[in-house]
């Protein structure tokens, strides 16, 4: 059974600080996705990581993939309140089905 585990599940940060969310998965995967979800809202695609060593950056968020360690990270630089949301990593399985991690709820405090 495919498993995707994220940690931490909850993260409270001060504005301006840096932090990393970790995503471990149980089997090899072609692709690793990061999504953002605001409370009661839909999921917004942030990054897709295609190969070992892939790194993508958008604003204060940077995602990376280490397929040998089966690990992806989402690094937050100089957090701002607008980044408060729940972040999910997901990998693809049979067909194109996504298996999601449990999510990391991020709260950025002024």
Q: Which residues bind another protein (CB under 8 A)?
A: 30-31, 33, 35, 40-45, 48, 88, 90, 92-100, 102-103
- The distance of Cα 101 from the centroid of its chain, to the nearest Å, equals 9
Cβ closer to another protein: 3 or 81? 3
| Residue 32: strand pairing partners | 49, 91
CB-based contact 76:13 (threshold 8 Å): yes
CB-based contact 64:79 (threshold 8 Å): no
Rounded to a whole number of angstroms, the minimum distance from the CB of residue 99 to another protein is 7
Rounded to a whole number of angstroms, the minimum distance from the CB of residue 52 to another protein is 17
Cβ closer to another protein: 11 or 90? 90
Phi and psi at residue 26, in whole multiples of 5°?
Answer: -90, -15
Cβ closer to another protein: 15 or 44? 44
């Amino acid at each position: 059974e495919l498993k995707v585990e994220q940690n931490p599940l909850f993260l409270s940060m001060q504005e301006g600080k840096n932090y990393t969310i970790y995503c471990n998965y149980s089997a090899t995967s072609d692709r690793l996705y990061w999504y953002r979800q605001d409370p009661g809202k839909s999921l917004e695609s942030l990054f897709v990581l295609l190969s070992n060593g892939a790194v993508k950056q958008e604003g204060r968020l940077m995602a990376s993939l280490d397929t040998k360690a089966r690990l992806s990270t989402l690094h937050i630089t100089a957090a701002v309140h607008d980044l408060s949301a729940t972040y999910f990593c997901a990998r693809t399985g049979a067909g194109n089905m996504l298996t999601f991690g449990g999510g990391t709820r991020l709260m950025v405090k002024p």
